[in-house]
Structure 1
């Protein structure tokens, strides 16, 4: 089962967004890494963490959930078979793979496969 493990807030002014969410909701926002700021939404309480990023040209602003999958390749194939569009195909990072899709209704999602 694909589990929602995070979120990504895309903004053309990520510094201002980070300041807003930090001041209003007490989120802990890390320094940028790859123009992405990790966000902790609750210290010691259950919640979903995520990040704030400068929105790329293909998704300049908005919110995407991140869904953990067992197999990136199988999940992308199944999503496309069911009407999704690939925005950014499988990308490799140190500890995980990441891809961005748009579902058949136009909602943006991220897929994450952790390296084992």
Structure 2
């Protein structure tokens, strides 16, 4: 089962967005790394999730995407395509995980993450 493990807030002014969410909700926002700022929304004593704020790429300049953790990103991509999803960004490799972006058949964007 794929579990939602995070969110991304995409903006063309991520610094302004980070200041807003930090000021309004008290979120802890890290320094940028590759135009992406990790966000901690609270402590582990309450349910919730953390995420990030980034400069939105050309294919997704504004908006919110959930990130879904899967056991096999290749299988999840293939299954999503068979069920009508469109790949926005093919599987990318990072130090600790793989990441891909897709759009479901009704136009909602989401990310798939497989930890290494």
Q: TM-score range by the shorter chain?
A: over 0.9
Distance in 1, matches of 2:78 and 2:103, equals 13
What's 1:84 paired with?
Answer: 85
Q: Structure 1 residue 11: deviation in Å?
A: 0.2
SS of alignment partner, residue 91 of structure 2: strand
SS in 1 for 2:87: strand
RMSD of aligned Cα (Å) = 0.6
Q: Hey, what does 2:15 align to over in structure 1?
A: 15
CA–CA distance in 2 between the matches of 1:73 and 1:6? 20
CA distance in 1, matches of 2:51, 2:36: 10
Structure 1 gaps, min length 5: none
In structure 2, the residue corresponding to 1:5 is in which secondary structure? strand
Report the count of equivalent residues.
115
38-47 or 14-23, which deviates more = 38-47
Name structure 2 gaps, 5 residues minimum: none
Structure 2 residue 97 is matched with structure 1 residue 96: yes
TM-score with structure 2 length normalisation? 0.97
Q: What is the CA deviation profile of residues 54-91 of structure 1, one whole-angstrom value per residue up to 9, with x for unaligned ones?
A: 00000000000000000000000000000000000000
Alpha-carbon distance between aligned partners in 1 of 2:16 and 2:49, rounded to the nearest angstrom:
21
Shift, 1:40, TM fit: 0.2
Structure 1 residue 47, shift from structure 2 partner: 1.2
Q: TM-score, normalised by structure 1?
A: 0.97
Please give the secondary structure, in 2, of the residue aligned with 1:48. Answer: coil
